[in-house]
């Protein structure tokens, strides 16, 4: 191997005598080590003509040493490695420096593989390059895996970035490991001018126990709803999902004993619009329901009014008939006036019966636990337009924890609507300048107490009971009032084993109090 640069026949074996003695080891040891090394090793002259190849070279390339000795290393080239790569390689070798890189090689059977190659100059004692040493291994599988990981990472990133749901992966110190643009947008809304970590604190605090459980025991949660006041009276609602995941540590130091690294993934969906749409459609359905109930109530009132009006003349005929019969005695049975009056009375009673039978009845509704605060809120929402039109200021003070009232939701809603409608109407008089509707709910000993106060003209104290009688109205008859609103309220409250009364101590207008017994379990 001393006459470098020359091409001469080779046996594929280096002469052991040419190898240096080291630490008393025989040169054969080195020879043996190189020959059996699991990496492809070749030694070339200065034009890259092969002088020696080890066994692994044969298994990697498919060539025997006889087939490659004396040939140029370029025999392995597939021709697709860019020129620049070789230029870089030869440039380094010219500077007597090693070079490492990846080339596309072709095996004897024409199959391709990626060669991770290191070439280095072998320099003699006088500083002259005498050989080149090449070491390469097939890194196709590693490359394939790397590419797959890269592709998967890219796919995940693309999906993450495109998804409208906010996603964030945090470590046990609430440090962000990964987040998508939707999360960053959300963070800037819930913690404006703060860093992303601050947004995580706000978020995890709102998630409360759900997050603590996830952190403590890895228990996943889903569809946990939270809301944030984002200023300008806009409440934003979010549905959150949490999942914990285990990941292996990447540090070399922890290769054999990787520590337990758990991360928490939070997925947050903005459901504000969805909730708004649900609320709108619920309100529309309620409007339709209440309109239907109002129509039904109107019909019932008309029928009751007709019965009320007819009952008077029938009673009169009956009284007159009894008197006449007493006076005429046995003659009454043939007296034409008596007979005519009997007929008239029968016809009247029949008409009353058929009117009574025709009164439309509210559809049967099962009694279920009802949330009075929710019903009042719905009625206020439905009355918003009218409240605004009349310039009525509303004060609404619900009890924080209100027990359920067992009853028919729609009947209770109608009752509350009637009382609120009465209050609005009372304040709509031109003479009323201060217009305030104040509604509160409270829990008393055994009842839920609802107070509806207005600043209208009020009801005189002596009429406090009379106003609950059918067909009684404090308004003139031409105003179209049938005087059936408060009796209907009374009827519904009685159906629910409650009481309704006017608070006579209230002086600023009218205050109606409804007390309804609540269920034992809430």
Question: Among the candidate windows 29-37, 73-81, 359-367, 486-494, which touches ligand FAD by CB under 6 A?
Answer: 73-81
Q: In 205-260, where do the E strands start and end?
A: 221-229, 235-247
Determine, following the binding rule CB under 6 A, whether residue 113 of this chain makes contact with ligand FAD: no
Q: Which is nearer to ligand FAD, 81 or 442 (CB)?
A: 81
Among 119, 130, 266, 489, binds ligand FAD (CB under 6 A): 119
Shortest distance in whole angstroms from residue 53 CB to ligand FAD: 10
Residue 48 binds ligand FAD (CB under 6 A): yes
Q: Which is nearer to ligand FAD, 83 or 478 (CB)?
A: 83
Least distance (Å) between residue 71 CB and ligand FAD: 10
As measured in angstroms, the least distance from the Cβ of 46 to ligand FAD is 6
Minimal distance, residue 189 CB to ligand FAD, in Å: 56
465 touches ligand FAD by CB under 6 A: no
Smallest distance, Å, CB 48 to ligand FAD?
A: 3
Residue with tokens 């409608």: 421
Query: Given the structure tokens 């070798």, which residue do they identify?
Result: 93
> Interface with ligand FAD by CB under 6 A: which range of 30-38, 72-80, 417-425, 459-467?
72-80
Cα–Cα distance for residue pair 269/436, rounded to 1 Å: 39
Nearer to ligand FAD, 100 or 284 (CB): 100
Asked if residues 203 and 266 have their Cβ atoms less than 8 Å apart, the reply is yes
**For residues 133 and 43, what is the distance between their CA atoms, to the nearest angstrom?**
5
Identify the three-state secondary structure at position 445. Answer: coil
Choice between 69 and 119, CB closer to ligand FAD: 119
Q: Decide: is 69 part of the binding site for ligand FAD (CB under 6 A).
A: no
The answer to the question of residue 106 lying near ligand FAD (CB under 6 A) is: no
Is residue 90 within the footprint of ligand FAD (CB under 6 A)?
Answer: yes
Query: Residue with structure tokens 């055994």?
Result: 446
Residues 462 and 470 sit within 8 Å (Cβ to Cβ): no
Segment near ligand FAD (CB under 6 A), from 39-47, 163-171, 274-282, 289-297?
39-47
Complex with ligand FAD: residue 44 or 441, whichever CB lies closer: 44
Find how far residue 466's CA is from the centre of its chain.
53
Task: Report if residue 86 touches ligand FAD, rule: CB under 6 A.
Answer: yes
364 burial via Cβ count (<10 Å: 0-12, 13-18, 19+):
exposed
Nearest alpha carbon to residue 183 among 201, 204, 169, 172: 169
In the list 30, 35, 77, 501, the residue contacting ligand FAD (rule: CB under 6 A) is 77
DSSP 369-438: EE-HHHHHHHHHHHHHHHHHHTT-EEEEE--SSPPPEEE-HHHHHHHHHHHHHHHHHHHTSTT----EEE
Report CA 389 to chain centroid distance, whole Å: 36
**Interface residues for ligand FAD in 128-147 (CB under 6 A)?**
132, 134, 136
Pair 183, 167: CB distance under 8 Å: yes
Query: How far apart (Å, rounded) are the C-alpha atoms in residues 225 and 240?
Result: 6
Residue 76 or 512 having the CB closest to ligand FAD: 76
Nearer to ligand FAD, 87 or 276 (CB): 87
For residue 368, give the nearest of 318, 410, 426, 305 by alpha carbon: 410
CA Rg, the chain, in Å? 48
422 touches ligand FAD (CB under 6 A): no
Total of residues contacting ligand FAD (CB under 6 A)? 21
Closer residue to ligand FAD in complex, CB, 123/340: 123
- For ligand FAD, the closer of residues 134 and 485 by Cβ is 134
- Residue 58 interacts with ligand FAD (CB under 6 A)? no
Burial class, 206, CB count within 10 angstroms (exposed 0-12 / middle 13-18 / buried 19+): middle
Q: How far apart are CA 316 and CA 339, in angstroms?
A: 16
Q: Which residues sit at the interface with ligand FAD, rule CB under 6 A?
A: 42, 44, 47-48, 72-74, 76-77, 81, 86, 90, 94, 103, 105, 115, 117, 119, 132, 134, 136
């Amino acid at each position: 191997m001393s006459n470098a640069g020359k091409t001469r026949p080779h046996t594929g074996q280096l002469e052991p005598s040419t190898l240096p003695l080291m630490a008393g080891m025989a040169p054969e040891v080195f020879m043996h080590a190189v020959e059996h090394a699991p990496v492809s090793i070749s030694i070339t002259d200065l034009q890259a003509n092969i002088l020696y190849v080890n066994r692994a070279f044969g298994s990697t390339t498919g060539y025997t040493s006889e087939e490659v000795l004396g040939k140029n290393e370029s025999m392995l080239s597939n021709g697709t490695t860019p020129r620049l790569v070789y230029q870089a390689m030869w440039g380094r070798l010219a500077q007597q420096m090693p070079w490492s890189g990846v080339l596309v090689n072709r095996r004897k059977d024409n199959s391709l593989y990626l060669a991770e190659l290191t070439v280095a100059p072998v320099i003699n004692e006088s500083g002259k390059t005498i050989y080149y040493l090449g070491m390469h291994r097939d890194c196709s599988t590693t490359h394939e895996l790397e590419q797959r990981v890269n592709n998967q990472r890219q796919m995940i990133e693309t999906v993450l970035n495109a998804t409208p749901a906010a996603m964030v992966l945090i470590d046990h110190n609430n440090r962000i490991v990964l987040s998508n643009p939707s999360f960053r947008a959300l963070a800037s809304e819930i913690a404006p001018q703060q860093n992303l970590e601050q947004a995580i604190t706000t978020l995890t605090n709102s998630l409360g126990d759900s997050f603590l459980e996830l952190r403590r025991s890895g228990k996943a949660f889903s569809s946990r709803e939270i809301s944030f006041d984002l200023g300008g009276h806009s409440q934003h609602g979010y549905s959150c999902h949490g999942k914990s995941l285990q990941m292996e540590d990447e540090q070399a130091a922890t290769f054999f004993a990787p520590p337990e690294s758990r991360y928490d993934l939070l997925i947050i969906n903005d459901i504000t619009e969805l909730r708004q749409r649900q609320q709108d459609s619920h309100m529309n359905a309620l409007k339709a329901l209440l309109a239907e109930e109002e129509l039904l109530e109107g019909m019932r009132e008309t029928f009751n009014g007709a019965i009320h009006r007819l009952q008077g003349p029938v009673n009169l005929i009956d009284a007159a008939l009894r008197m006449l019969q007493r006076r005429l005695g046995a003659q009454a049975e043939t007296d034409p006036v008596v007979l005519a009056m009997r007929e008239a009375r029968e016809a009247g009673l029949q008409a009353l019966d058929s009117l009574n039978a025709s009164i439309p009845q509210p559809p049967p509704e099962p009694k279920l636990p009802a949330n009075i605060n929710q019903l009042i809120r719905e009625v206020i929402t439905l009355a918003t337009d009218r409240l605004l039109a009349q310039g009525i200021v509303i004060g609404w003070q619900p009890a924080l924890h209100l027990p359920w009232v067992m009853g028919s939701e729609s009947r209770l809603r109608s009752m509350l609507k009637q009382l609120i409608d009465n209050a609005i109407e009372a304040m709509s008089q031109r003479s009323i300048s201060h217009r305030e509707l104040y509604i509160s709910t409270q829990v008393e000993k055994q009842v839920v107490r609802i107070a509806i106060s207005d600043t209208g003209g009020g009801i005189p104290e002596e009429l406090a009971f009379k106003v609950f009688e059918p067909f009684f109205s404090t308004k003139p008859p031409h105003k179209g009032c049938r005087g059936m609103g408060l009796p209907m309220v009374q009827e519904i409250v009685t159906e629910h084993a409650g009481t309704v009364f006017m608070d006579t101590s209230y002086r600023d207008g009218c205050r109606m109090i409804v007390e309804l017994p609540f269920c034992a379990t809430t």
